[in-house]
Amino acid sequence: MKSRTMPIFDSAVGRFCIIASIAVGLSPAFMASAHDVAGQKPIVPYAWHSVKVGGGGFAPGVVFSPVERNLVYLRTDMGGAYRWDAQVAQWVPLQDGESVSSYMGIESIAPDPVDANIVYMAAGMNAQGAAAIFRSADRGIHWQRTNVPFAMGGNEDGRGLGERLAVDPHAHDRLFFGSRHDGLWHSEDAGATWRKVESFPLKGLGHPSVARTTHGGLSFVLFDPARKGQLYVGSADSGGQHMFRSRDNGVTWEHMPGGPEANLLPVKAVIGRDGVMTISYCDAIGPNGIKAGAVWRFDTQSNSWTDVTPLKGSKVVPGGYMGVAVSVRDPRVIAVSTVNRYKPGDTVWRSEDGGRTWNDLSPRSTRDVSETPFLDFDKKANFGHWIAGLAIDPFDPHHAAYVTGATLYATQEFATAGTMKWKPWTQGIEQTAVITLISPTGGAPLISGFGDLGGFRHDDLTVSPAHIHRNPMLTNTNSLDYAGLAPQVVVRSGNTHAPVVPDTSLAWSQDGGRSWTPLYISTDAAVDTTVPPPERTGSAAITVSADGGTFVVETDMPRLTRDRGRSWIMIEGLPSRVRVTADKVDARRFYAIDFAANRILRSDDGGTSFHRLDSIGLPADLSLARAQGREAANPLVAVPDYAGMLWLLVEPDLFRSRDAGEHWEKATQNIAIQRFGTGKGAPGSPWPTLYAIAMADGQRGVFRSIDGGAVWQRINDDAHQWGLRLRMISGDPRRFGRTYLATDGRGILVGDPQGGMQ
């Protein structure tokens, strides 16, 4: 099938149109266009690279091309899709040029079963987000998009189901898609237009009426490669009928009686070349909440069902089965994965006789995580959790892979007896949600706070860090701060997945984040203990003075310690739960905002007391400067090497003060700033370099200013947008031009001016 320009049907207006290809892919560097914000100066060309962690998040599906060796695709729940490039031994991100956040949640991916160059994917983050089906004729380098009227859930419950999108191997312009809420859809023109299959028995349960809920819908669509016109669809909605077959390309449908009881839902399936379909079942759509499961096989020739569940009777433990695979060379070799089995943990089962007997791979497997050592949480990396995706290489029965909630594992010993060695298969994959980050004036160039993984100290941006933040181990790090004159002193706050942190949500380090010491706050007898205080929920940010001697914590009754938590002092004049900023040069001074009075507060006595300033030049209403939620960046920033210099974001405008908050001036115009950070100033400039996630001239992106905010230049381009899922930005105080960008799904990006251009 030759590459061709695809006509795209715009469902909103009911017409066909031709859309431009969307360029994607993370190149080592790029040249931006020659226009700037408001036509002021040429854009500075920047090179962008990932700060290495290696995997880190949930990738629900890994799919091998059936027609070309070493061609593999991976879909993630909020970081887009990837393709394995065997020549460079790297996963290539396929959607870094995407500007629509919702399209970074991949619902399904389908390599063409005839033409190796063609691949399709269904994208949509949740029921409220935009949804589309994409087609590429060059392996995901460029995409053409069809907006669709049915919602998806790439980052919702049920994202491990599938694959929902399937291409007919006998007529590969024909595609079917099983939606979550609106039944079955099909395309006869290679995904350009879509129509609902009205003859399909299940019409869908309709759009969810309750926020943050979803339906499982049609869990998979599967063509029989040996029988033209025959395909199967599974349903993961409640009801008495879950499996359906068509023998005439989807014109008519029949229910397939048999199989397990109706409370078990088919979630994934695969057909071997012997005509036998292996189906995994769960009692919920997962990945959480699954308590029971089964594995059944259906012989498509004899129409007979066989229960081949690995564990039965008294051996059954809570959890289900989701990943399923079959060897192309020998269809008697099948494999299934457990999901949500916390005791004794998830595993993969392998059978060489079609499921009559099984071998549990976990006890005889080892995992070498030396390239991504953060996986070694307890000095021994476990087999993994949320194993929703599992695949056997169709060209090499020794090569297999499975996904987890934190990484993708692969082995080259799947068909061998004895010890089976697995390694993370994550080169090039950065799929994490980053909450906060700092670049201190000394020590490691970058210290980060992640969701789920806690965060890292990066001594080398190209190497996965040795460990995550520990002591205490907090799944989320919400705030980080360092002492401007003593950058080895670092503090952090965070939370766990539980509503109340079991031990403490605060910690400090005296070696730049290499090791941590818990920080405890004693409960005040006057405080209502029936409501967890913010320091027990992870909602109390922590700040450190410039000399590293004083810690200030955002508690209900704000307090500080000068002896590392042995004793605490109540702070006078500081309202409850107010973010505090420490001057990076003057250890006596701290700053905050009094939102009731719309004034800046300052402490000149090391945080003991705060007093109001006149705040001349600031807007009368400072409410738009309030940090909303524990993960929000502090809108008030002090600058290293500039005593008393402050920058304040009152969205969408940035204000600056050079006299410790007494007087302010508006620094920006013609740009709407959403997040900002500072870095080392340009040579000879009196200002720090400013970096911002912002909107200018209708273009949202990443910008910088080297003249105090008067002129802004875009430093990303259309090929580097990462779904515009951007959470925080900071410059490097030691290296002019370098910036760090925290994303929600694509990890941390580091940007440098290209080719020495400043």
Q: In the chain, what are the domains?
A: 7-30+54-424 (2.130.10.10), 434-756 (2.130.10.10)
Judge contact between 705 and 696, C-beta under 8 A.
no
Give residue-wise pLDDT tens across range 194-232: 999 999 999 999 999 888 899 999 999 999 999 999 999
Q: Does the structure show a pLDDT above 70 at 53?
A: yes
Give residue-wise pLDDT tens across range 30-47: 333 334 444 345 578 999
Q: Does the structure show a pLDDT above 50 at 15?
A: no
Q: Does the structure show a pLDDT above 60 at 6?
A: no
Cis peptide before 261 (omega within 30 of 0): no
Nearest-angstrom CA–CA distance, 436 and 723: 18
The reply to whether 77 belongs to the active site is yes
**Residues counted in the chain:** 758
The reply to whether 511 belongs to the active site is no
Question: Residue 535: enclosing H or E segment and its boundaries?
Answer: helix 534-537
From residue 757, alpha-carbon distances to 32, 36, 194, 544, 707 in Å are 12, 16, 47, 35, 17
Nearest-angstrom CA–CA distance, 470 and 516: 6
Judge contact between 204 and 214, C-beta under 8 A.
no
Task: Quickly state the pLDDT bin for 522 (edges 50, 70, 90).
Answer: confident
Q: Does the structure show a pLDDT above 70 at 249?
A: yes
Q: Which of 36, 77, 157, 182 is catalytic?
A: 77
pLDDT score of 14 = 33
Q: Does the structure show a pLDDT above 90 at 612?
A: yes
Q: Does the structure show a pLDDT above 50 at 676?
A: yes
Judge contact between 272 and 326, C-beta under 8 A.
yes
Task: Quickly state the pLDDT bin for 755 (edges 50, 70, 90).
Answer: confident
Give residue-wise pLDDT tens across range 550-588: 999 999 999 999 999 999 999 999 999 999 999 999 999
pLDDT score of 758 = 55
Nearest-angstrom CA–CA distance, 432 and 691: 22
Q: Is the dihedral of CA 64, 65, 70, 73 positive or negative?
A: negative
Nearest-angstrom CA–CA distance, 743 and 746: 6
Radius of gyration of the chain (CA): 27
pLDDT score of 43 = 75
From residue 638, alpha-carbon distances to 228, 326, 416, 546 in Å are 68, 58, 59, 10
pLDDT score of 366 = 95
Give this prediction's pTM: 0.93
Give residue-wise pLDDT tens across range 256-307: 999 999 999 999 999 999 999 999 999 999 999 999 999 999 999 999 999 9
Mean pLDDT (the chain) is 92
pLDDT score of 37 = 42
The DSSP call for residue 78 is S
**Amino acid (one-letter) located at 250:** G
Query: Is the pLDDT higher at 192 or at 20?
Result: 192
Q: Does the structure show a pLDDT above 60 at 7?
A: no
Question: Residue 344: enclosing H or E segment and its boundaries?
Answer: none
User: Over the range 42-66, which residues count as b (16 or more CB within 10 Å of their CB) and which as e?
Assistant: ebbbbbbbbbbbbbbbbbbbbbbbb
Q: Which long-range contacts (CB under 8 A, 24 or more apart) does 406-413 make?
A: 406/55, 406/56, 406/57, 406/58, 406/375, 406/452, 406/453, 407/54, 407/55, 407/56, 407/372, 407/375, 408/55, 408/59, 408/62, 408/74, 409/367, 409/384, 411/365
Q: Which of 85, 360, 396, 452 is catalytic?
A: 452
Q: Find the mean pLDDT for residues 589-602.
A: 97
Q: Does the structure show a pLDDT above 50 at 326?
A: yes
- β partners of residue 590: 582, 603
Nearest-angstrom CA–CA distance, 304 and 508: 63
Task: Quickly state the pLDDT bin for 525 (edges 50, 70, 90).
Answer: very low
